[in-house]
């Protein structure tokens, strides 16, 4: 199995705060979970993988191409991130979902057609002309997912995609993500172990910006090796 | 001036407005023209500068912002004097022959309001949710496309800045007086007429211009207050 991402001695600091500390990591073609307590550095790691942040030191390679400083724009064209709290342009649902396609030069008609299909797959048929910012939390997250999926990214990064959602919305979202993960790489940060088990094959456990343990998801959750991972899995501080 | 004279002047002024006095119309249109070109120029320069300051991080950013904020308060007569020294025949830019022209006044007014547009645009772009940039980028936008997306989100605040700048340019006196010199049929604008022609007995005309000036400024203020709602209406708010 070839590596999609290779991170070498990655550190990320915000002033005096060390968010990630000397991470060396490979991510292959299997869907991967990034686990850890709040503040462990999960979102920072996802942002680095998305090309939204640059590391303070170290190198990131995506499919053998160095994307640490250069080629970031190329990376962003094939990697899309879904944020925990969805954010929208002050536009309609359709305009939000077609944005990524339009800047890629897709015609308005084709973009609208693809957006409608993506919305329908998330049970949002007929939502095209609604104002995105005025939808409910669950609807917003589904629109945000449609906006990401319509781009057919090679990698989909998900930061707590079902946090604060009711079970019905969470189920719809996870169904669509699971389907998508069959053809593309999905890297997800979530505290929902059930989702982690059903969606991912590989898991990384972070603590205070450091990798504590990596391994097959089932092994890491059911039979963790490190003390920190054991505490986390048992829900202890 | 007695109350009776004032009342007489007001009646004559209303008569001038109602009958569309040619001098009144000419001066009003010239004022609008001068300030319109000033705002067009200032917006073309100020919005991109404000956007760059608002969107980019660079050394000395705070100082640059402070300089533009300070320049908002420059007295118009001081700027007029500075421009006079530059543009007068013996000045370094005298060869441009902009003294006593409406182009000269427009340039002066543009310089006056550029700091307003820059500061407001900076503030408007900075106040947008920082995550909007991440959103645009993660959807594949280039840095330019990201900036355009953020600017579009800040458009109502930027429109407000432009309206406020027009207000300031339209009502200023110092630059129009020093650079234009209130030449009849050439550089006479509303504020210079009000300031100078009253002493020459044209009280009714001055009152009429004051009324029109106030009405336009008032209308602009109403527009400014409702600009967010107007933009939302134009966007078909569902």
- Residue A192, classified by CB atoms within 10 Å of its CB into exposed (0-12), middle (13-18) or buried (19+), is middle
- Read off the CATH number of the domain in which A160 is found: 3.40.50.300
Of A170, A176, A168, the closest CA to residue A150 belongs to A176
Predicted confidence at residue A235, as pLDDT, reads 83
Question: What 8-state DSSP symbol labels residue A92?
Answer: B
Domains of chain B, start order: 3-234 (1.10.3720.10)
Which residue segment(s) compose the domain that A228 sits in? 5-87+156-234
Query: A-chain residues within 8 Å CB-CB of B238?
Result: 92, 129-131, 134
Q: Domain for residue A218, yes or no?
A: yes
Number of domains in chain A: 1
Q: Domain for residue A143, yes or no?
A: no
Range A87-114 average pLDDT? 95
Q: Domain for residue A28, yes or no?
A: yes
Q: Chains A, B: CB contacts under 8 A, how many? A: 58
8 Å CB contact between B47 and B158? yes
Predicted confidence at residue B237, as pLDDT, reads 44
Q: Which residue of B has its CA nearest to A91?
A: B235
Strand, helix or coil for residue B1: coil
Residues B137, A52: C-beta atoms closer than 8 Å: yes
Tens of pLDDT, residues A64-77: 999 998 899 999 99
Give me chain B's average pLDDT, please: 90
Distance CA A47, CA B172 (A): 49
Residues A87, B131: C-beta atoms closer than 8 Å: yes
8 Å CB contact between B216 and B224? no
Residues B140, A129: C-beta atoms closer than 8 Å: no
Predicted confidence at residue B232, as pLDDT, reads 62
Q: Domain for residue A147, yes or no?
A: no
Distance CA B92, CA B101 (A): 17
The CA-atom distances, in angstroms, between A52 and each of A13, A67, A217, B54, B199 are 14, 11, 26, 18, 65
Predicted confidence at residue B107, as pLDDT, reads 97
pTM of the model as a whole: 0.78
Predicted confidence at residue B6, as pLDDT, reads 80
Range B31-58 average pLDDT? 95
Q: Domain for residue A139, yes or no?
A: no
- Determine what percent of chain B is predicted with pLDDT higher than 90: 66
What does residue A83 show for φ and ψ, rounded to 5 degrees?
-85, 160
Q: Which residue of A has its CA nearest to B140?
A: A77
Predicted confidence at residue A229, as pLDDT, reads 93
Tens of pLDDT, residues B177-210: 999 999 999 999 999 999 988 888 888 888 888 9
ipTM: 0.91
Range A56-66 average pLDDT? 96
Range A154-162 average pLDDT? 94
Residues B132, A76: C-beta atoms closer than 8 Å: no
- Determine what percent of chain A is predicted with pLDDT higher than 90: 88
Instruction: Give yes or no for A87 touching B (CB within 8 A).
Output: yes
User: Where residue B129 falls among pLDDT bands split at 50, 70, 90?
Assistant: confident
Give me chain A's average pLDDT, please: 94
Q: Is the pLDDT of residue A165 over 80?
A: yes
How far is the alpha carbon of B136 from chain A, nearest alpha carbon, in Å? 8
Instruction: Give yes or no for A130 touching B (CB within 8 A).
Output: yes
Residues A89, B149: C-beta atoms closer than 8 Å: yes
Q: Is the pLDDT of residue B238 over 80?
A: no
- Residue B185, classified by CB atoms within 10 Å of its CB into exposed (0-12), middle (13-18) or buried (19+), is exposed
Query: B-chain residues within 8 Å CB-CB of A148?
Result: 138-139
Contacts of A86 (CB under 8 A, 6+ apart): A140, A141, A143, A144
How far is the alpha carbon of B157 from chain A, nearest alpha carbon, in Å? 13
Predicted confidence at residue B220, as pLDDT, reads 82
- Residue A34, classified by CB atoms within 10 Å of its CB into exposed (0-12), middle (13-18) or buried (19+), is buried
User: Which residues, in sequence order, are bridge partners of residue A216?
Assistant: A202
Q: Domain for residue A22, yes or no?
A: yes
Question: Token pair 């906006």 is at which residue?
Answer: A147
Residues A131, B139: C-beta atoms closer than 8 Å: no
Tens of pLDDT, residues B54-108: 988 899 999 999 999 999 999 999 999 999 999 999 999 999 999 999 999 999 9
Q: Domain for residue A25, yes or no?
A: yes
Residues 92-121 of A with CB under 8 A from B: 92, 99-100, 103-104
- Which of A80, A81, A87 comes nearest B129 by C-beta? A87
B14: how many CB neighbours lie within 10 A of its CB? Answer: 14
């Amino acid at each position: 199995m070839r590596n999609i991402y290779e991170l070498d001695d990655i550190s990320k600091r915000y002033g005096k705060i060390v968010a990630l500390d000397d991470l060396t990591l490979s991510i292959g073609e299997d869907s991967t979970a990034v686990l850890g307590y709040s503040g462990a550095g999960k979102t920072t790691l996802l942002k680095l993988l998305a090309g939204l942040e640059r590391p303070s030191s170290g190198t990131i390679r995506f499919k053998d191409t160095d994307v640490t400083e250069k080629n970031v724009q190329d990376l962003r064209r094939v990697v899309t991130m879904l944020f925990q709290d969805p954010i929208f342009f002050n536009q309609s649902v359709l305009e939000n979902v077609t944005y990524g396609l339009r800047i890629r030069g897709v015609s308005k008609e084709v973009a609208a057609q693809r957006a409608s299909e993506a919305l329908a797959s998330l049970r949002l048929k007929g939502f095209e002309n609604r104002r995105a910012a005025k939808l409910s939390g669950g609807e917003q997250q589904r629109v945000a997912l449609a906006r990401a999926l319509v781009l057919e990214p090679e990698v989909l990064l998900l930061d707590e995609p079902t946090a604060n959602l009711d079970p019905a919305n969470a189920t719809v979202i996870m169904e669509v993500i699971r389907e998508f993960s069959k053809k593309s790489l999905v890297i997800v940060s979530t505290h929902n172990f059930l989702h982690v088990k059903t969606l991912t094959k590989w898991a990384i456990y972070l603590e205070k910006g450091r990798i504590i343990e990596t391994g097959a998801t089932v092994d890491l959750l059911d039979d963790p090796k490190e003390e920190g991972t054991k505490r986390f899995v048992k829900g202890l501080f | 001036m007695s109350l009776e004279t004032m009342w007489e002047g007001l009646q004559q002024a209303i008569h001038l407005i109602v009958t569309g006095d040619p001098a009144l119309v000419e001066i009003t249109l010239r004022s609008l023209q001068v300030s319109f070109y000033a705002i067009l120029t200032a917006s073309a320069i100020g919005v991109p500068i404000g956007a760059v300051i608002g969107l980019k991080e660079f050394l000395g950013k705070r100082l640059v912002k402070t300089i533009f904020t300070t320049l908002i308060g420059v007295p118009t007569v001081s700027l007029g004097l500075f421009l006079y020294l530059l543009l007068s025949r013996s000045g370094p830019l005298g060869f441009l022959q902009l003294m006593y022209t409406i182009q000269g006044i427009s340039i002066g007014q543009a310089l006056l309001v550029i700091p307003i547009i820059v500061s407001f645009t900076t503030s408007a772009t900075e106040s947008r949710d920082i995550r909007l940039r991440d959103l645009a980028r993660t959807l594949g936008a280039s840095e330019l496309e990201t900036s355009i997306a953020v600017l579009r989100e800040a458009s109502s605040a930027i429109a407000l800045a432009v309206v406020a700048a027009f207000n300031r340019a339209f009502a200023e006196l110092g630059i129009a007086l020093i650079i234009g010199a209130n030449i009849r049929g050439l550089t006479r604008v509303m504020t210079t007429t009000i300031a100078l022609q009253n002493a020459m007995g044209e009280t009714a005309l001055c009152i009429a211009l004051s009324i029109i000036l106030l009405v336009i400024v008032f209308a602009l203020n109403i527009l400014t207050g409702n600009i967010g709602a107007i933009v939302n209406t134009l966007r078909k708010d569902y």
